Amino acid sequence: MNSLLVVLLSAFLLTSGGSNMSQPQNGELKWTNFTEGLKEASATNKKVLVDVYTDWCGWCKKMERDTYSNGEVENYLRDNYVLVRLNAESSQEETIDTMHVTDAQLATAFGVNGYPTTIFLTHDGQPITAAPGYMGPQEFINVLKYINGDYYKKMKFPDYLKSQGVSVK
């Protein structure tokens, strides 16, 4: 398990006094909880995409309906990422190494303060970045390819878009 995440979570738990599986309506994508997602990512060497949401969030529902159900997005995610759903208000427990934390505590530890937020982690659980807010299918595909192709290590996102022939506003 990655030590940075353990330190981050430990710090959160010191300062603050299970699983949450969520299947999309169409059932095309396989979502898992945080604990199982990290195990799967380690075994498959895939990056982790963490969809942080709340049950009441309209933009989360729109992203589910319009973006995650888009065929190109579904195919790319299935082939390249381990998918984790994290309800930012859930008391469901996760086990990270020997620590037990709730999904809500994980969301706070990651600094999430708006929904939806998409968090990207390496296959060994190291944070890459977080993308707050709703993204439509084409914008999301561009972000997915940028992260999965490790372009974030060598260029900024607007430069990546230009290199792909995408006009930047």
pLDDT of 8:
47
pLDDT of 27:
52
Within 13 Å of residue 111, how many CA atoms lie on the same side as its CB? 8
Round to whole Å and give the CA distance between 27 and 150: 29
Residue 39 near residue 74 (C-beta atoms within 8 A):
no
pLDDT of 28:
76
Round to whole Å and give the CA distance between 92 and 105: 10
SS3 of 47, please? strand
Peptide bond into 132 cis (omega under 30): no
SS3 of 130, please? strand
Q: Please, which residues have CB within 8 angstroms of residue 157's CB and are 6 or more apart in sequence?
A: 143, 146
Tokens of residue 33, six digits = 């909880």
Residue 31 near residue 103 (C-beta atoms within 8 A):
no
Q: Please, which residues have CB within 8 angstroms of residue 23's CB and are 6 or more apart in sequence?
A: 29, 31
Q: Which amino acid is it at 163?
A: S
Q: Which of 102, 135, 144 shows the shortest CA–CA distance to 110?
A: 102
Domain limits, the chain = 3-163
For the full predicted model, state whether its pTM sits above 0.95: no
CATH assignment, 3-163: 3.40.30.10
Looking only at Cα atoms, what is the longest distance across the chain? 50
10-residue block means of pLDDT along the chain (169 residues)? Answer: 47 37 56 95 97 97 96 96 96 86 94 96 96 97 98 95 88
pLDDT of 11:
42
